[in-house]
Amino acid sequence: MRFTAWDRLPRAARRGLSTLVFSAGVGGVVSLLLAAPLGESVVYAVCVSLAIWACIDGGRLLAARWVRRHEAAQAGPPTGWPGWGWMVPILLLGTLVGYLLGHTLAGVLLGRGLAHTASMNPRTLVTILLLSLLPGTAVTGLFYTRARLAGMRATAERAERLASEQRLALLASQLEPHMLFNTLANLRVLIGADPPRAQAMLDRLILFLRATLDASRQGTHTLGAEFARLHDYLELMKVRMGARLDTRLDLPDALAAHPVPALLLQPLVENAIKHGLEPQPRGGQLRVSASAQGPQLVLRVRDTGRGLPAAPGGGGFGLNQVRERLHALFGDAASLEAVDAADAEGGALITIRLPL
């Protein structure tokens, strides 16, 4: 999104400049209709309009601040809007005080002094005040509508964030037993076939769960912690697969402190071992790497196994779970790509891109 110099100004400054331009135009129209001097008409219109705007807008902001401070326990109005119960007297009083101040200031600027305002006809004053209330009421109604829309958008965004957090919690609760059940099933086989390896695997499992269960409930942690959990998991898998599993983790020191969703890579590594490497008698290599490419953090999981399944999109619980988390957390700013490796080693390559 591109921002102009106008967009960078504070809202109060934009409203004030808009009032200035509008009032100058009104002064020019009044000069033409009443055959009055142009300069005099513009000075009166600008001074009166700016004074009324300052009184009404200032009163609105002060009232809104008071409401937020003293009525915080209630379901308060949108930010900056104190409610019509406040705005009606602010409109009436702000228009009266603003008109008198603006008219007095214009008289001083034109060399007519303070007596000019005091000598005004009361009927003329009432008529002008009533006419001044019309644009003030219209602008106040417009601000009320915009404030309500902003409040509705904020409520919708909070609801969307809450839904995303609940969805992520559900996905995390699915991930933990999924990995655990797979490991316990393999442990059961090893107990009968190779009890010493089963005992070593159980010790690794205890250490892995102790570290991982805390990480899985944090929501986010550093990339260094993510790679540490992967190391624990791969050491656990090496107990089962032995020399058939060759692993390598590449994490630059400059990226170790970068925050990422907890256990983001875990299901991808698990998929690579379960579907790519373990079915091969010779096993294979598994490489996990992180790098920075411009504004993106790029995470890759590469194995030399059997490649992606034939199902469209290379589906499965692991990939779908990661896609869901990325979409919920980052929307279109993150992506996951799963392809068959193009070199002679074969296997699969999973690439994740996140905002850096």
Nearest C-alpha neighbor of 317 from the set 193, 178, 125, 154: 178
My answer on whether 110 and 169 are in the same domain is no
Q: Check whether residue 195 and residue 330 sit in a common domain.
A: yes
**Residue 150 covered by a domain:** no
Report d(CA 176, CA 270) in Å as an integer: 12
Q: Does one domain contain both 101 and 53?
A: yes
Structure confidence by residue, pLDDT tens digits, 209-223: 777 666 666 678 899
Please report how the helices 38-70 and 11-34 are oriented relative to each other, as an axis angle in degrees rounded to 10.
150
pLDDT of residue 121: 59
| Domain region containing 50 | 5-120
Same domain? For 294 and 199 the reply is yes
- Considering 120, 151, 186, which residue would you say is the last residue of a domain? 120
Are residues 277 and 343 located together in one domain of the fold?
yes
pLDDT at 76 (0 to 100): 44
Nearest Cα neighbor of 282 from 241, 247, 249, 248 is 241
pLDDT at 198: 83
How many CA atoms lie within 13 Å of 354's alpha carbon, on the beta-carbon side? 23
Q: Are residues 215 and 95 in the same domain?
A: no
The three state secondary structure string of 22-52 is HHHHHHHHHHHHHCCCHHHHHHHHHHHHHHH
The answer to whether residue 236 is domain-embedded is: yes
Q: 350 and 226 share a domain?
A: yes
User: Are 263 and 344 in the same domain?
Assistant: yes
Residues 220 and 349 in one domain: yes
Q: From 92, 120, 148, give the residue that closes a domain.
A: 120
Beta strand pairing call for 335-340 and 348-355: antiparallel
Low-confidence ranges of the chain (pLDDT < 70): 1-16, 19-20, 22-24, 26-36, 71-80, 113-144, 146-147, 150-151, 154-155, 158-179, 182, 212-218, 310-318
CATH number of the CATH domain containing 215? 3.30.565.10
pLDDT, residue 253, reads 93
Both 181 and 74 in a single domain? no
Q: Which residue has the tokens 């925050």?
A: 259
From 250, 245, 315, 299, select the one nearest 277 (Cα to Cα): 245
Domain boundary among 120, 142, 175: 120
pLDDT in tens, 177-187: 656 776 787 78
CA distance 218 to 74: 32
H or E stretch covering 303: strand 296-303
pTM given for the model: 0.51
Under 8 Å between Cβ of 343 and 255 = no
Same domain, 200 and 327: yes
Residue 256, in any domain of the structure = yes
Count the domains in the chain.
2
Is residue 166 domain-shared with residue 106, that is, in the same domain?
Answer: no
